Structure 1
């Protein structure tokens, strides 16, 4: 008789698998750490908490776990004791010489960090593998991006609009610190290479974004035990 897996054990296994899957996709030199949200129950830095402000308990728990894993990632750069508050733009304020990105679901967290001598920017996003509604799908994607939706979803096994959401979020997290410019979903167009699990993201030309570099940025994507993820980085070399 096979005993059912306890939910907590399943979450532990899922987090290990997710972190391992992300590590396989990121560029050399990027450190990835992560897991479930349990570290939030024991990690507290007053300066970080004050920068977070008044938020609901679930958001505070995500925040604490993210900072815990961020300090784990920073240990390899000699900055494991760093405080990482939130800046005015609500993005993490990394220590000098470091670039990075933090992402959460309701139960998992992943952090990616690297040296600013090697990378100008890093972006990562993780989301639960649940389909978007028709309304949200239209908000997130261009018609040209979903033209082969049935074929792509059959090959990948998950919702294409949700994947585009994850890719564009990861791209934005990499791109925003470089320019300080807000991007809507329709400001970015994505081209997928399903076989290689690769994505090219390009800013759509417009009067509002005329001054932003519109060349293609290359990223990667994947899935692990019900979680979709994507990562982008921009080399400093």
Structure 2
């Protein structure tokens, strides 16, 4: 590991993991907000954004941990760590050499990254999201904004605990948003995307676009989302570029 990314009280562990189907790298670190201070940006050679000057400690710690995992991914790919600018909607703006996605939640941060093939412009990218399981009360209040009535029945049929299935769909749609944002360039609603199939055995689900989002992301496009789960969290991801779009159902 690069000397600049040795462990500290703030970053207690760092490693790389394999995401089935993904040919790039995925870096992960665990961090402890109790040991955060602004000087850590300098220690880890991460530029401190002006937009974070008045942010909460949680926001600053999350951002730093995400950029640390991104730098570890750069190093694993044989590249020097590079500045990832912040876009209009606080989205990471990736250098032209890579496609990537960052997620941070609770005390973990992940970054999946892959070299961008020569001649491939910004488009359907990687997408990754980590979520803790929603509680029963959270599920009751949030379900209508995440699921249609058809999806509600699909989740209920596949999961004995509804809140676990809802958390998966929430995470999967977050991953898809991150993957499609470079091609779409604007926010879209969770209900603009539907779940068409769930495979518990293979840990895959199919999402379908229910309206045109951009010239490259059309109604009927279906995208595979992969996931893995632990006792407390679900991690989901979308593969970049041609791997993500499976079919156009309307053709």
Question: TM-score band, normalised by the shorter chain?
Answer: 0.7 to 0.9
* Residue 51 of structure 1: how far off its partner (Å): 4.5
- Counterpart residue number, 2:142: 136
* Residue 37 of structure 1: how far off its partner (Å): 1.7
Q: Structure 1 residues 98, 86: closer, same or farther in 2, change over 3 A?
A: same
**1:121 & 1:56 partners in 2: Cα distance?**
29
Larger displacement relative to structure 2 (166-175 or 72-81): 72-81
**1:80 & 1:144 partners in 2: Cα distance?**
47
For the 8 Å contact 1:101–1:124, the answer to whether it is kept is yes
1:47-126 superposed matches below 5 A? 47-117=47-117, 120-126=124-130
1:30-41 superposed matches below 5 A? 30-38=24-32
For the 8 Å contact 1:198–1:221, the answer to whether it is kept is yes
- Counterpart residue number, 1:3: none
Counterpart pick for 1:175 among 171, 180, 191: 180
**2:21 & 2:36 partners in 1: Cα distance?**
25
Uncovered stretches (5+) of structure 2, i.e. residues with no partner: 1-10, 244-251
Structure-1-length-normalised TM-score: 0.80
**1:210 & 1:112 partners in 2: Cα distance?**
24
* Residue 228 of structure 1: how far off its partner (Å): 0.6
Report 1 or 2 for greater relative contact order, CA contacts < 8 Å, sequence distance ≥ 6.
Answer: 1
Secondary structure in structure 1 of the residue aligned to 2:61: helix
* Residue 151 of structure 1: how far off its partner (Å): 3.7
- Count of matched residue positions in the alignment of Structure 1 and Structure 2: 218
* Residue 148 of structure 1: how far off its partner (Å): 3.8
**1:223 & 1:54 partners in 2: Cα distance?**
34
Structure-2-length-normalised TM-score: 0.76
Counterpart pick for 1:163 among 146, 168, 176: 168
Secondary structure in structure 2 of the residue aligned to 1:82: coil
- Give the structure with the larger helix fraction: 1
Pairwise CA RMSD of aligned residues?
2.8
For the 8 Å contact 2:156–2:162, the answer to whether it is kept is no
1:27 paired to 2:10: no
- Counterpart residue number, 2:239: 233
Q: Structure 1 residues 83, 162: closer, same or farther in 2, change over 3 A?
A: same
Q: Runs of 4+ in structure 1 displaced over 4 angstroms?
A: 38-41
For the 8 Å contact 2:71–2:82, the answer to whether it is kept is yes
